[in-house]
Amino acid sequence: MWLLVGLGNPGPDYARTRHNIGFMAVDTIVRRHSFGPWRSRFQGETAEGTIGTERVLALKPATFMNLSGQAVAAASRFLKIPPSAILVLHDELDLAPGRVRVKCGGGAGGHNGLKSIDSHLGPEYHRLRLGIGHPGDKDRVTGYVLSAFAKVDEDWRPALLDAVAETIPLLLGGDETGFLNRVALQTRPPKPRADRPAPPAPAETTAAPAPASPGGVLAEALRAALSKPSSKD
């Protein structure tokens, strides 16, 4: 059994923030794979289902981000799920918006949710890092992650969440490379079509003949009259 953990902060005030993209990803997975209803359990909200051949418990901790490890540890210990079968989905400042990476173990990289999980279970669990970009100044990080996604982010955010939900069976089945390749393919901007017909060339126009001047008309009439044969013998 897999424990699929989305990180975020509870409540409507945080629902659209960048820090909650882990919640958003798990919500999309639960809908896509027709999990059972959400219910309160393990200091969070849980839903059960199947992805491919794997039984999965999805968890959104109801503690705030800094205490996420309490909920993850409660579920892990009660259900006897080892860290090797835990996948945590979280926001990642060090990845460009819309990019994803997978890793197992390693440091928390300053992420308070990961720090909390590390303190309860150690670092040897899987992480799906969902890129949200960096504001460019470390002093702006807190305000940035706790702000709602901007309108421009809608160019990539829904596509990323849908791609992760569709291809998550590959990741849980051990095909990390296949998962990353499929997500990249599905979130890549479409290329211009080479078979589109070229725009029609502008129609050729024929210049109208210039009107004859009055003098020219009279001269032509005189030449015609003089060239006629005489009727007299």
Per the annotation, the verdict on 19 as an active-site residue is yes
Exposure class string for 215-224: b at 16+ Cβ within 10 A, else e: eeeeeeeeee
Cα–Cα distance for residue pair 123/138, rounded to 1 Å: 24
- CB within 8 Å of 26: residues ≥ 6 apart: 4, 5, 6, 58, 59, 60, 89
Angle, helix 68-79 to helix 112-121, in steps of 10 degrees: 40
Cα–Cα distance for residue pair 178/185, rounded to 1 Å: 10
Q: Identify which of 23, 26, 47 has the alpha carbon closest to the alpha carbon of residue 36.
A: 47
One of 19, 33, 90, 126 is an active-site residue; which one? Answer: 19
Q: Which residues are catalytically annotated?
A: 19
